[in-house]
Amino acid sequence: MFEKILKNLKSNPPLVHNITNYVTVNDCANVILAAGASPLMADDINEVEDIVSISNVLYINVGTLNARTVEAMVKAGKKANELDLPVILDPVGVGASKLRNESVEKLINEIDFSVIKGNMSEIKALYTNAKNTGGVDVQEDDLINDENIEESINFIKKVSGKFNCTIAATGVIDIVTDSERVSLIRNGNDMMSKITGTGCMAGSLVATYCGSNKNEIFDATVMAITVMGLSGEKAYRKIVEKSEGTGSFRTYLIDAVSLMDFKALKEGAKIESR
């Protein structure tokens, strides 16, 4: 899987259209570049169709939501569907507010998504319309662990079936499913939760790999989540070795993405198929 996905990325590096948030937009752009693709950040409603038309994939992230960008997201998503391009959704903080819930519902009703990526609280809020009191962070009761892994897998498979797309539920254990295939990914490090943007960067990587592998959406998603987690492990080892902190961790994280290759993935990936 890894070799094919990497080969496609190197031979056909995608142009990744991001409509994302202003907190992590620079991180998203840099991680896309680090992976070997090209980022394009454009959210004006008057140009999104033109930008989608020259892109290979669309990444929608609702982190800093407003009414103007929602309309641009819908317009871009419909154009991407028309062109048969992968569309990735990161429903950041869904469940935290009425605006967020209504906006994400509108996006899902009007756009066919290839992948939805979020933490377990966001995925639950998406599926049940329940309130998510944790904001953008996963609630403690929703953490994926070995005790609730079977229950979590079954639930996420239901979500995948409902929305007819691949679901990536991220956490200490990541779960990726297309309702039939399931991969558990145990890469990553606690330090990743100490800086802003790691979730958004993971979404950008999903878009990047899907952009070059639109017929292998599930495998591309598994690879993207694995690359992000493994890069976090490598970055953590660096800061421990050099007695450095969170600022250096962010830099080393992007470094690790840029240096990721088949050998590193083969040796470091912790993936279990179910």
Residues making up the binding site: 41, 117, 170, 197
Give the torsion through C-alpha atoms of 213, 262, 200, 109, to 10 deg. Answer: 20
Cα 223 to chain centroid distance, Å, stands at 11
| Residue 35 three-state SS | helix
Cα 48 to chain centroid distance, Å, stands at 21
> 1 and 222 in contact (C-beta within 8 Å)?
yes
> 6 and 262 in contact (C-beta within 8 Å)?
yes
Binding-site residue positions for substrate: 41, 197
> 240 and 221 in contact (C-beta within 8 Å)?
no
Binding-site residue positions for ATP: 117, 170
Distance in angstroms (rounded) separating the CA atoms of residues 139 and 143: 7
The residue type at 31: V
Distance in angstroms (rounded) separating the CA atoms of residues 76 and 193: 30
- Exposed / middle / buried, residue 37 (Cβ in 10 Å: 0-12, 13-18, 19+): buried
Distance in angstroms (rounded) separating the CA atoms of residues 90 and 88: 7
